[in-house]
Amino acid sequence: MQYVNLGRTGCRVSRLCLGTMNFGPHTSETDSFALMDQALELGINFFDTADVYGWKKGEGITEQIIGRWLAQGGGRREKIILATKVYNDMELIPGDVTMRGRGLSAVKIRRGCEGSLKRLKTDYIDLYQMHHIHRDSHPDEIWQAFDVLIKQGKAVYVGSSNFAGWHIAQYNEAARRNLCVGLVSEQSKYSLASRTIELEVLPACRAYGMAVIPWSPLEGGFLGGVLQKAAEGRRANEGLQKRIDKERPRLEAWESFCKEFGHHPADVALAWMLHNPAITSPIIGPRTSDQLATSLRALDIKLTEPDLQALDRIWPGPKGPTDQGLADFNAQAAPEAYAW
């Protein structure tokens, strides 16, 4: 396993992050325990979850599963960097309006943390993330709440998720005003097929020394060899099938490239992401032991510059670097593609 600093912090995390969203709804508790044990054996020390995972309102089923796994002892808690999130509707007791609906009030953040700690059966959260931006809560209020948790030893670092580039700047500058460390990470959707964050989010994270933790690096299975699976008689769900039909020529070029390259599409998609120095740890969400083990193959795949250029032609991203100088400001590199 390879390790890297979590952004500008001195905390070392594995290059792959174990996503736990399937734990409960799709993966049994027994199998979830086995996957977490296997992840440790493979050297994965970065686990990501959220209070809302499990999708049964207010109960935090996935966090409960992780908590029972941690409660087995054996140094499990000390061996992992544990990340969870706050923002979504977690009203369990009727009338508890502070946890009803979505938001990031200071009260909700502090109560949300207490709930996660109880479910996770731990005293602290290594990386406590805002699951989404909340436009009705002022950043100063939010940082006051997180600062209290940090001083109480209940949270170590604070991260964001699904923030725009200007939100990252806004929140880090607010943290500076409040003498807080600020955001150390951003969790965004990113894959070969979804590259919007290259415009502003990735440059903002680089500027502030933040880790980037991509979710859905295989685009919900879209980049995982769907045409090959269809040929083997495995049909995608309706939504994915519509996208396959719409982008079939591109998928054919993608899977042909991977076949000639000699690696499985899922492994190449992860390897492409790991070649980007802005990326810290893509989140993998295995449902089986084999899926977890095979994810590590991406760490050994080396892509040459011609390989990367070929992938850019198949999956073009936002406007990138240019050698045309200032002659054509529309072709300038992100994040200043439109600045002139």
pLDDT of residue 328: 41
Is 50 exceeded by the pLDDT of residue 239?
yes
What is the tens place of the pLDDT at every residue in 122-142? 999 999 999 999 988 999 999
Among residues 164, 175, 157, 159, the alpha carbon closest in space to that of 202 is found at: 164
- C-alpha to C-alpha distance for 131 and 86, rounded to whole angstroms: 6
Q: Stretch 284-301: mean pLDDT, rounded?
A: 92
Give CA separation, 213 vs 104, 190, 220, 227, in Å. Answer: 21, 9, 16, 27
Q: Region 216-241: what's the mean pLDDT?
A: 81
Q: What is the pLDDT of residue 33?
A: 97
Q: How far from the centroid of its chain's Cα atoms is residue 212's Cα? A: 7
Helices (H) and strands (E) in the chain, counts: 13, 10
Query: Which amino acid belongs to residue 14?
Result: S
| pLDDT band, very low/low/confident/very high, at 191 (cuts 50, 70, 90) | very high
In the CATH scheme, what is the code of domain 3-224+264-303?
3.20.20.100
- State the average pLDDT over residues 256-277: 95
Query: Is 124 noted as a catalytic residue in this protein?
Result: no
Burial 118-130 (b: 16+ CB within 10 A, else e): ebbbbebbbbbbb
> Looking at the predicted structure, is the pLDDT value of residue 59 above 90?
no
Q: What is the pLDDT of residue 316?
A: 86
Say yes or no to pLDDT of 340 above 90.
no
Q: Which stretch of 57-71, 237-251, 290-304 has the lowest confidence by average pLDDT?
A: 237-251
Per this entry, what is the length of the chain? 340
- Domain-wise residue ranges, the chain: 3-224+264-303
pLDDT in the model for residue 323:
40
Answer yes or no: is pLDDT of 235 > 90: no
Averaged over 27-45, what is the pLDDT? 96
pLDDT one-digit tens code per residue, 75-88: 999 999 999 999 98
Mean pLDDT for the chain? 89
Q: Please give the pLDDT value at position 252.
A: 94
Query: With bands split at pLDDT 50, 70 and 90, how would you rate the model's confidence at 321?
Result: very low
- Report percent pLDDT > 70 for the chain: 89
The average pLDDT across 258-278 equals 94
Name, in order, each residue with C-beta under 8 angstroms of 334's C-beta and a sequence gap of 6 or more.
198, 199, 200, 202, 203, 318, 319, 320
**End-to-end Cα separation, the chain, in angstroms:** 44
Q: Active-site residue among 3, 53, 171, 208?
A: 53
Amino acid at 102: R
**Tokens 């309006």, located at residue:** 97
Q: Looking at residues 62-67, what average pLDDT do you find?
A: 97
Q: What whole-number distance in Å separates Cα of residue 97 and Cα of residue 91?
A: 7
Confidence of residue 325 (pLDDT cuts 50, 70, 90): very low
How many of the other CB atoms lie within 10 Å of CB of 336?
Answer: 12
pLDDT of residue 250: 92
| Three-state secondary-structure class, residue 166 | helix
Using the predicted structure, report yes or no on whether residue 320 has a pLDDT greater than 70: no
Question: Full-prediction pTM beyond 0.85?
Answer: yes
pLDDT of residue 333: 55
Residue from 83, 104, 67 nearest 14 by CA: 83
User: Quick one: average pLDDT of 240-262?
Assistant: 91
Return d(Cα 268, Cα 265) in angstroms, integer: 5
User: Taking 50 as the threshold, does the pLDDT of residue 228 lie above it?
Assistant: yes
**How wide is the angle at C-alpha 218 spanned by C-alphas 214 and 219, nearest 5°?**
85
CA dihedral 5, 307, 303, 274 (to 10 degrees): 20
pLDDT band of 234, cuts 50, 70, 90: low
User: What is the mean pLDDT of the segment spanning 183-212?
Assistant: 94
**Residue located via tokens 């080396």:** 302
Categorize the per-residue pLDDT at 318 as very low, low, confident or very high, splitting at 50, 70 and 90: confident
Is the pLDDT score of 324 beyond 90?
Answer: no
Q: What is the mean pLDDT of residues 221-242?
A: 79
What was the pLDDT predicted at 220?
87
pLDDT of residue 306: 92
